[in-house]
Amino acid sequence: MAIREILTIPDARLSTISEPVETIDDELLALLDDMLETMYDAPGIGLAAIQIGVPKRLVVIDTAKDDAPPRPHFLINPQITWTSEEMSTYEEGCLSIPDYFAEIERPSACRVTYLDRDGNEQEIEADGVLATCVQHEIDHLNGVLFIDHLSKLKRDRVIKKFAKAEKRKAVPA
C-alpha cells in the first residue's frame, strides 16, 4: 500500500468525468488499498479515485467515529438509485479543497448500488453523515465539487483564493 498525492483545486483533472470500471483485478484492488490508506492518512472520511488523479468510478468511505473500529466501504461503479425528498444540511469539507468548509444542503437519505471488492452487487440505504458523504463522493466521479453547490459568487471567491495560493507557490524563491 502507498500514500498517493491528493490533487487540490484549481487542478483541472478534478472536473473529469470518471470511467466505469470493467474488470476487478489485483491492480484495481491495490488502487483501492492505496485510496483507503491515503484517505486515513489525510485524514478524511471519503475519497474518490480522481482525487489521486485516476479517472475511474471508485470511492472509499469510512464514517466510523474516531474511537470506533475502522469500517471501510469500497464502492466500485456506485450509482444513486433513490434520494429522499427530505433534505439536510451538513458542513462539508473536501481533501481537494483544504481548510475550506461550507454548509451544503442535500437529500437526507439515499440508496446506492455498487460492486464490492469481490465483484458482488451491493445496495446500501444511507442516512445521516454517510448519505452526505456518499453523495459528495459520487459527485467527484461526475467532476462535481461541493463548492459547485454554492452560489456562483461564493464559489468564484473560493477558486480565486486557491488560484492565488497556487501562483504564489510557482514564484521561485
Residues 6+ apart with CB under 8 A from 111: 80, 81, 82, 83, 123, 124, 125, 126
Catalytic residues, by residue number, are 137
Radius of gyration of the chain (CA): 16
Residue placing its CB nearer to Ni ion in the complex, 108 or 132: 132
Residue placing its CB nearer to Ni ion in the complex, 54 or 94: 94
Residue placing its CB nearer to Ni ion in the complex, 24 or 158: 158
Three-class DSSP category at 15: helix
Residues 6+ apart with CB under 8 A from 45: 39, 61, 62, 63, 129, 133
Q: For the window 68-107, what string marks contact with Ni ion as x by the rule CB under 5 A? A: --------------------------x-------------
The answer to whether residue 28 forms part of the interface with Ni ion (CB under 5 A) is no
Q: Min. distance of Cβ 82 from Ni ion in angstroms?
A: 22
Binding site for Ni ion (CB under 5 A): 94
